[in-house]
Amino acid sequence: MAAKTLTIDGHLVSARPGETLLAAIREAGITVPTLCHLDGLSDVGACRLCLVEIEGQRRLQPACMTMVSEGMVVHTNTPRLQSYRRQIIELLFAERNHVCAVCVASGHCELQRLAGMVGMDHVRYEYLSPNCPVDISHPRFGIDHNRCVLCTRCVRACDEIEGVHTWDVAGRGVNAHVITDLNQPWGASTTCTSCGKCQLACPTGAIFPRGVTVGERPHASERIALIVEARKQRW
């Protein structure tokens, strides 16, 4: 099939048909912030950080969920988008209890990096300061819901890559939270294989190896794409 030609931030770009706008943007060497997207997993368009402006369309579109089409004219970094992205990050910080100074992922955290990227120097919204539990009943891992941004990367990694679907989301709106099995303590899960892919996929310090201290949890989310590629190629 013929390649599609589109304009991204004033540059003419050619993309493969069926390719997402996010992939085309990245191939063009342009950086767009993402959080719920992880190479190797399906996309859900949940975080809204990769929203872009497409000429002729009134609504903003998430680049990860939009397919390229011929003649598209796309803007990825307008003042309006910058303002929304910063608001999104501030809302994430305000929703739960993110305390970088004492977090196991500090220095290796996507949320922290994104806050820097969008220029967040303070949070303009009132903190909700919810009372979130920590579950360290699993012998190897723990989950701290204070640090969870509900990106569902753990849910998708567990379902799509490991294939056991231990993780899922319960509750609605501000009460939504990730759960293991039928909302049992992680250590009591009968489906969990202790593979650790959820921990690899997690962008923050929400899922961590037991026993780590401040800043000690490494960031290794790119290993999910590596596993997918290895499976495909039968390495």
Partner 1 sequence: MGQRIVIDPVTRIEGHAKISIHLDEAGDVAETRFHVTEFRGFERFCIGRPFWEMPGITARICGICPVSHLLASARAGDGLLAVQIPPAAEKLRRLMNLGQIIQSHALSFFHLSGPDLMLGFDSDPAQRNVFGLIAADPNLARNGIRLRQFGQEVIELLGGRKIHPAWAVPGGVRNGLSQSGRDQIRAKLPEMLTIALDAIGRLKQLTERYQREIATFGVFPSLYLGMVGPGGRWMHYGGKLRVIDHTGKILIDELDPIDYRDVIGEAVEPWSYLKFPYIRALGYPGGMYRVGPLARINVCTTMGATRADTELRELREQAGPVIEGSFYYHHARLIEIIAALERMEMLIEDDDLLSNELRADAGVNRREAVGVSEAPRGTLFHHYKVDDKGLITDVNLIIATGQNNLAINRTVGQIAQSYIRNGQFDQGILNRIEAGVRAYDPCLSCSTHAVGQMAMEVELYDAQGELLDRVSR
The residues binding partner 1 (CB under 8 A) are 101-102, 104, 133-134, 136-137, 142, 187, 210-216
Kindly tell me which of 34 and 189 has the beta carbon lying closer to partner 1: 189
Residue 134 CB, nearest distance to partner 1 (Å)?
6
Residue 90 CB, nearest distance to partner 1 (Å)?
22
Residue 138 CB, nearest distance to partner 1 (Å)?
9
Residue 211 CB, nearest distance to partner 1 (Å)?
5
Kindly tell me which of 8 and 141 has the beta carbon lying closer to partner 1: 141
Question: Other CB atoms closer than 10 Å to residue 53's CB: what's the count?
Answer: 16
Kindly tell me which of 93 and 186 has the beta carbon lying closer to partner 1: 186
Chain-centre distance for alpha carbon 103: 18
Residue 141 CB, nearest distance to partner 1 (Å)?
11
Kindly tell me which of 90 and 216 has the beta carbon lying closer to partner 1: 216
Kindly tell me which of 88 and 212 has the beta carbon lying closer to partner 1: 212
- 137: which residues sit within 8 A by CB, 6+ positions away? 185, 186, 187, 188
| C-alpha triplet 14, 68, 64: angle, nearest 5° | 120
